[in-house]
């Protein structure tokens, strides 16, 4: 039962949890901060499509779904390529293409804005390829006993960027969409340079022997079940980036709604910064699946509050609550997958996890848009809370099966 449950308690607390990791993990941590800080386009994609390009919510939902499907193609391809030829060069290429696409968006927005959605769509496979490649590099550069702390640090880096990014994104959105694309392009380019100069090539485990054995290897059934549950989790979680900004625009108007939504995401990120190390230490002995089941409980409470919220302070409180669940999911899912993944298929397993998440995200905007067309925000968040409750039960059953 590899790493399904930790056997010792972590002897460190707070940010000292992250001492003693490999140097490359800290470089990937810095790269993650820069990338997430500069991910303005994806953060405000729905508002860009509806507020700046005048698409309807239904049209925006379908476009976002197609964009996520394109992202999944990149995730699938990158996992296969990385297992055969390494991680670094494909990651550099993916980030460079995304940076160039956003730069072209900035240049063309004033003259031919109708091309911008297609450029975003074109960059989506390359943007999608970055996540499984990065996750595999984290596993490559970490000893098995460091996996939990390494992924926790990378997740912390994600949210340091997200804590700052939404404020800059909402400022640029209100004043200059051209600068929003250009600044995003610049930051991704800078992180690509750091990756190119600071990270060595991550060795591939794909040799003549593994080339033959990997044809016989299969992803373990326990991971397949985990991926299915993770896709359903992505379906619920993606409503934070589709339904929530639309709800805020409905409650507060376009500009104020964007500003308050950005503030909400900043609160989400700050909560992560303050709580991640504590939760990682506290839940270390619980094992990954039990911790994830606990995460679903936090989502049930947070989304249940969203169903009834009308006052902004209640939105803030609900966001803090479900953020605890996000932390537990983010710091345990990758560890579980890398613990059970065959070494020769490690990138493909990481890719499959990301694809599962993207599958849920691809369905979420269409499902959310259709539900909003026939019901309202209360019903949508109620359904999301119910789904999280069922997922929590599923993870408990899976955990009991592994222990039996």
Domains and CATH numbers, the chain: 21-403 (1.20.1250.20)
pLDDT score of 14 more than 70: no
**Which of the two residues, 205 and 351, has the higher pLDDT score?**
351
Q: How far is CA 104 from CA 112, 125, 185, 403, in A?
A: 11, 17, 9, 53
Mean pLDDT of 268-288: 83
Per residue in 29-85, pLDDT tens?
Answer: 999 888 888 887 877 787 888 888 877 777 787 787 788 788 888 888 887 787 777
pLDDT given for residue 403 in this prediction: 82
Mean of pLDDT over the chain: 83
**Mean pLDDT along residues 82-92:** 82
Other CB atoms within a 10 A radius of the CB of residue 187 amount to 23
Which is it for the CA torsion 76, 159, 88, 220, positive or negative? negative
Higher pLDDT, 201 or 381: 381
Task: Enter the tokens of residue 316.
Answer: 């803030």
Higher-confidence position of 130 and 226:
226
Q: How confident is the model at residue 208 (pLDDT cuts 50, 70, 90)?
A: very low
User: pLDDT, tens digit, for every residue of 111-132?
Assistant: 888 888 889 889 989 988 888 8
**Alpha-carbon span 81 to 374, nearest angstrom:** 43
> What pLDDT was estimated at residue 345?
82
What is the chain's alpha carbon radius of gyration, rounded to the nearest angstrom?
A: 20
Return all residues near 346 (Cβ < 8 A) that are at least 6 apart: 83, 136, 139, 140, 205, 338
Q: Residue 150: is it exposed, middle or buried by C-beta count within 10 angstroms (0-12/13-18/19+)?
A: buried
State the Cα–Cα distance between residues 106 and 113, nearest whole angstrom: 9
The answer on pLDDT for 201 being more than 60 is yes
The CB-side HSE value for 69 (13 A sphere, CA atoms) comes to: 9
Between 150 and 59, the more confident residue is 150
269-293 residues labelled b (16+ CB within 10 A) or e (exposed): bbbbeeebbebbbebbebbbbbbbb
* Structure letter (DSSP) for residue 76: H
Tell me the torsion sign for CA atoms 172, 173, 179, 181: positive
pLDDT for residue 202: 57
User: In this predicted structure, what is the pLDDT of residue 10?
Assistant: 52
The percentage of residues in the chain with a pLDDT greater than 90, rounded to a whole number, is 27
Judge whether 180 and 39 are in contact, CB under 8 Å: no
Burial 365-403 (b: 16+ CB within 10 A, else e): bbbbbebbeeeebeebbbbbbebbbebbebbbebbeeee
> How far, CA to CA in Å, does 244 sit from each of 22, 247, 378?
38, 5, 12
């Amino acid at each position: 039962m590899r790493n399904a449950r930790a056997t010792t308690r972590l002897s460190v607390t707070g940010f000292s949890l992250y001492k003693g990791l490999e140097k490359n993990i800290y470089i990937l941590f810095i790269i993650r901060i820069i990338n997430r800080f500069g991910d303005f386009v994806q953060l405000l994609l729905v508002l860009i499509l509806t507020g700046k390009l005048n698409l309807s919510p239904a049209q925006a939902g379908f476009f976002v779904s197609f964009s996520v499907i394109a992202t999944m193609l990149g995730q699938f391809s990158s996992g296969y390529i990385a297992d055969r030829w390494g991680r670094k060069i494909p990651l550099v290429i993916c980030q460079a293409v995304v940076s160039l696409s956003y730069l072209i968006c900035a240049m063309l927005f004033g003259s031919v804005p109708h091309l911008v959605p297609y450029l975003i769509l074109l960059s989506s496979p390359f943007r999608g390829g970055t996540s499984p490649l990065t996750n595999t590099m984290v596993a490559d550069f970490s000893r098995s006993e460091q996996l939990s702390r390494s992924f926790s640090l990378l997740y912390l880096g994600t949210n340091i960027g997200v804590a700052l990014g939404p404020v800059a994104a909402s400022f640029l959105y209100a004043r200059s969409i051209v600068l929003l694309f250009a600044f995003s392009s610049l930051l991704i380019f800078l992180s690509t340079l750091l990756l190119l100069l600071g990270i060595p090539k991550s060795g591939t485990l794909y040799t003549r022997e593994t080339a033959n054995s990997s044809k016989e290897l299969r992803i373990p059934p326990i991971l397949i079940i985990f991926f299915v549950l993770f896709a359903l989790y992505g379906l619920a979680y993606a409503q934070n980036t589709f339904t929530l900004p639309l709800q805020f625009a409905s409650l507060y108007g376009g500009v104020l709604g964007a500003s308050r939504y950005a503030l909400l995401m900043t609160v989400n990120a700050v909560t992560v910064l303050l709580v991640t190390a504590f939760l990682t230490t506290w839940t270390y002995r619980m094992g990954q699946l039990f911790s994830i089941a606990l995460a679903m409980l936090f989502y049930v409470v947070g989304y249940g509050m969203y169903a009834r919220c009308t006052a902004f302070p209640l939105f803030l409180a609900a966001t803090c609550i479900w953020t605890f669940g996000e932390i537990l999911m983010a710091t345990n899912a990758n560890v579980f997958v890398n613990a059970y993944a065959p070494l020769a298929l490690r990138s493909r397993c990481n890719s499959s996890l990301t694809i599962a998440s993207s599958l849920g995200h691809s369905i979420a905007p269409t499902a959310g848009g259709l539900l909003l067309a026939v019901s309202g925000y209360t019903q949508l968040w109620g359904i999301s809370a119910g789904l999280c409750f069922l997922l929590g039960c599923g993870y408990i059953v899976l955990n009991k099966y592994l222990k039996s």
